[in-house]
Amino acid sequence: MKKKLTAVLIAVCVLAMACMLTACYVSRPDTEENVMGTYKLSVFTHTLPASDPENPEADLEARTTDFIKTKGISAYLVVASKERGYYVYKDNDVALYAKEVKLTFIYDDEDTEKVKEIKYTSGGDFHGDDYPGKGEETLGVNFTKSSKILSFYLPSWNGNLIKRDHSQQVTYEKVSDATDLSYVNEQLNVSLAVAPYETAKLDGIHVYDGYTDERCDYNYYIVDLKAAEKKANVYYLEKTAEEQTTLTDLPFTYTIEGDKMTIKLGDSITFTTYYSDAYPPAYIQKVIPATEENGTDEYFYFSIHGRSQTIPEIVAEIESAHQPVEETPEENGEE
How many structural domains comprise the chain? 2
- In terms of domains, do 47 and 178 share one? yes
**pLDDT tens, N- to C-terminus, the chain (335 residues):** 544 444 444 443 443 444 444 567 778 999 999 999 999 999 999 988 877 777 777 777 888 999 999 999 999 999 999 999 999 999 999 999 999 999 999 999 999 999 999 999 887 665 555 678 887 889 999 999 999 999 988 887 665 555 667 889 999 999 999 999 999 999 999 999 999 999 999 999 999 999 999 889 999 999 999 999 999 999 999 999 999 999 999 999 999 999 999 999 999 999 999 999 888 999 999 987 766 676 678 889 999 987 889 999 999 999 999 987 666 666 555 55
CB 335 within 8 A of CB 329: yes
pTM, 2 dp? 0.81
Q: Report the alpha-carbon distance of residue 137 to residue 129 in Å, rounded.
A: 7
CATH number of 93's domain: 2.40.128.280
Q: Are residues 243 and 116 in the same domain?
A: no
- Whether 158 maps to a domain, the answer reads yes
Are residues 134 and 232 part of one domain?
Answer: no
Please report whether residue 169 resides in a domain.
yes
Q: Which domain holds residue 308?
A: 200-321
φ, ψ for residue 167, nearest 5 deg: -95, 160
Contacts of 102 (CB under 8 A, 6+ apart): 83, 84, 120, 121, 123, 197, 277
Domain boundary among 138, 161, 188: 188
Q: What is the pLDDT of residue 328?
A: 62
Other CB atoms within 10 A of residue 214 CB:
6
Structural domain includes residue 328: no
Choosing from 162, 188, 214, the residue where a domain stops is 188
Contact 47, 166 (CB under 8 A): yes
The whole-number pLDDT of residue 2 equals 45
Cα torsion angle, 147, 149, 154, 156, sign: negative
Distances (CA, A) of 26 to 139, 142, 152, 197: 10, 6, 8, 30
Instruction: Kindly state whether residues 139 and 210 are assigned to the same domain.
Output: no
Tell me: do 168 and 263 sit in the same domain: no
The answer to whether the Cα torsion of 91, 92, 93, 97 is positive or negative is positive
Residue 255 lies in a domain: yes
